[in-house]
Amino acid sequence: MREAIRLSRAKMRRNQGGPFGAIVVRNGRIIARGWNQVTSTNDPTAHAEIVAVRNACKRLKRFHLVDCEVYTSCEPCPMCLAALYWAKIRCVYYANTRKDAAKIAFDDAFIYREIKLPLARRRIPMKQLLRGEALRVFEDWQAKSDKVEY
């Protein structure tokens, strides 16, 4: 955890992003590091956990981290939490809470509220198009004999 906190402070002080750091650990060893790079890379998805997961998957040459833990300097936001589930992380340890983050203007409570709303009531309009065409691709996937499932 101290390494995640150290990264959050060091990279924030160098203006490389917000005050967030994360590490991925496998078998008691750090295999990947990540820090918030949103402003330094102009990438709204470059949160510490996302960067750490990407780095770990690249290093391990696989798309899952079932035998890994994440240590992050703050409770993951909804995007990062979803990514951690998709990566099949074994356990997440965090330091600051999302309420702590909200106190310094990193408030994701509105996203949690939006997720609960019916599509028609969300802030970003959600409009369905060409479902029939898209379903045929899903049917092709389902029938594909050489697919890599995840």
Write down the pTM of the prediction. 0.92
pLDDT digits (tens, 9 = 90+) for 132-141: 999 999 999 9
Distance between CA atoms of 4 and 74, rounded to whole angstroms? Answer: 9
Distance between CA atoms of 109 and 115, rounded to whole angstroms? Answer: 10
Q: Confidence class of residue 149 from pLDDT cuts 50, 70 and 90?
A: confident
Of 49, 114, 133, 139, catalytic: 49
Distance between CA atoms of 129 and 6, rounded to whole angstroms? Answer: 46
Is 49 catalytic? The answer is yes
Q: How far is CA 11 from the centre of its chain?
A: 18
**C-beta of residue 20 within 8 angstroms of C-beta of residue 36:** yes
Return the bridge partners of 70, or none: 24, 92
pLDDT digits (tens, 9 = 90+) for 2-59: 999 999 999 999 999 999 999 999 999 999 999 999 999 999 999 999 999 999 999 9
